[in-house]
């Protein structure tokens, strides 16, 4: 017997002051606004967002967004007062305001006593369960040549790339420029069939399908395939795009910082040679010699 399944809401911020953050909630109601005590609270100086802006409330196994602000709440670009949400929907709080993507994940309850081992003499198991994962886990260095077998596994994967947010519930997932790939990555450095994300030995792995050792983890080529851990940086080529693994199967794009325009202007100014003022010394000397010659 199992308990009723719980639903975890994931809010992935794609624009605004919380961009790049992923928040998870299991509460039946999620409050959004500028109040510091709200679940999703934006900076107090972000006046476009109301103190109490929106709520996301659970109704059975569905979730509904409810607008509370005169500035409006937008669902996939359309202003709404109340609307049911589905995975991948994009919410915007006020026109031109912060944006986030809505995702849910079903979490099964813990098994009851019926699923426990049958009664018997109490004794310690030969290998404690807690020790099994470290013993079974193999963590090769980037570039490890041994190939780990890839099998279909029911684990989550969420990829955020620019405004695109895509969720998968089964791995492996193939990434590339070809439309036939599960996740299409439109970038100049990406090949038609570029990479594969899979799950093995209690870890997420990336496999380089390019044959050119283009994929890097924390700046080191993975070779054939390698696992990655929370906070690792995953580069699909030396020219990008780059992602950070946030744990729990979540990959978020790492954007390159834009150059400081003031520094660029200053640099350009330094490189521009100053204009030379016209010199009249040679001209005056020539006129003086000419006058002496004419008065002879």
pLDDT digits (tens, 9 = 90+) for 32-66: 999 999 999 999 999 999 999 999 999 988 999 99
Segment among 213-217, 240-244, 278-282 with least mean pLDDT: 278-282
- Average pLDDT value for residue range 167-173: 90
Supply the pLDDT for residue 4: 53
Say whether pLDDT at 235 is over 60.
Answer: yes
Instruction: Encode pLDDT of 153-163 as tens digits.
Output: 988 898 988 87
* Residue in the structure block whose two tokens are 């599960």: 182
Grouping H, G, I as helix, E, B as strand and the rest as coil, residue 36 is coil
The mean predicted confidence, pLDDT, of the chain is: 79
Give yes or no for a contact between 56 and 40, defined as CB atoms under 8 angstroms apart: no
Residue 249's pLDDT is what?
86
Query: Cis ω on the peptide bond leading into residue 42 (within 30° of 0)?
Result: no
For residue range 251-291, what is the model confidence (pLDDT) as tens digits?
988 876 555 555 455 445 544 455 544 444 444 555 554 55
Greater confidence (194 vs 249) lies with 194
At residue 287, the pLDDT reads 55
Position 250 confidence tier, pLDDT thresholds 50, 70, 90: confident
Least confident span in 17-31, 61-75, 106-120, 178-192: 106-120
Dihedral in degrees, nearest 10, Cα atoms 166, 167, 170, 172: 30
How many percent of the chain have pLDDT more than 90? Answer: 49
For the record, the structure tokens of 95 come out as 């026109």
Q: What share of the chain is helix, strand, coil (3-state, %, to 5)?
A: 10, 35, 50
Mean pLDDT of 115-123: 49
Sequence-distant (6+) residues with CB within 8 A of 252 are: 12, 20, 22, 160, 243, 244, 246
Q: Which residues of 28-37 are buried (b: 16+ CB within 10 A; e: fewer)?
A: eebbbbbeee
Q: Residues 130, 137: contact at Cβ < 8 Å?
A: no
| pLDDT beyond 60 at 5 | yes
Integer Cα distance of 112 and 115 in angstroms = 6
Beta pairing class for 29-33 and 40-41: parallel
């Amino acid at each position: 017997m199992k308990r009723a399944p719980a639903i975890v809401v994931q809010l992935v911020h794609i624009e605004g002051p919380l961009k790049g953050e992923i928040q998870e909630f299991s509460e039946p109601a999620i409050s959004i606004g500028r109040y510091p005590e709200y679940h999703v609270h934006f900076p107090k100086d972000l006046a476009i967002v109301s103190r109490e802006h929106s709520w996301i409330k659970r109704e059975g196994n569905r979730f509904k967004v409810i607008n509370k602000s005169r500035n409006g709440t937008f669902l996939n670009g359309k202003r709404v007062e109340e609307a049911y949400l589905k995975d991948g929907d994009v919410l915007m709080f006020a026109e031109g305001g912060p944006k986030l993507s809505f995702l849910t994940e079903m979490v099964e309850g813990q098994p009851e006593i019926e699923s426990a081992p049958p009664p018997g003499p109490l004794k310690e198991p030969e290998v404690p369960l807690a020790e099994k994962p470290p013993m079974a886990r193999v963590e090769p260095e980037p570039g490890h040549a041994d190939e780990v077998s890839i099998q279909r596994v029911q684990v989550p994967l969420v990829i955020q790339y620019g405004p695109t947010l895509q969720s998968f519930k089964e791995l492996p997932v193939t990434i590339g420029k070809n439309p036939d790939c599960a996740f299409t990555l439109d970038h100049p450095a990406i090949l038609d069939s570029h990479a594969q994300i899979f799950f093995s030995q209690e870890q997420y792995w990336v496999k380089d399908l390019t044959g050119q050792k283009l994929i890097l983890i924390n700046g080191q080529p993975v070779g054939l395939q390698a696992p990655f851990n929370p906070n690792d940086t995953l580069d699909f080529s030396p020219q990008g795009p780059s992602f950070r693994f946030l744990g729990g199967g979540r990959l978020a794009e790492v954007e390159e910082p834009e150059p400081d325009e003031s520094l660029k202007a200053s640099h350009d100014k330094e490189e521009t040679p100053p204009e030379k003022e016209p010199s009249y010394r040679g001209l005056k000397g020539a006129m003086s010699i000419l006058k002496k010659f004419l008065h002879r």
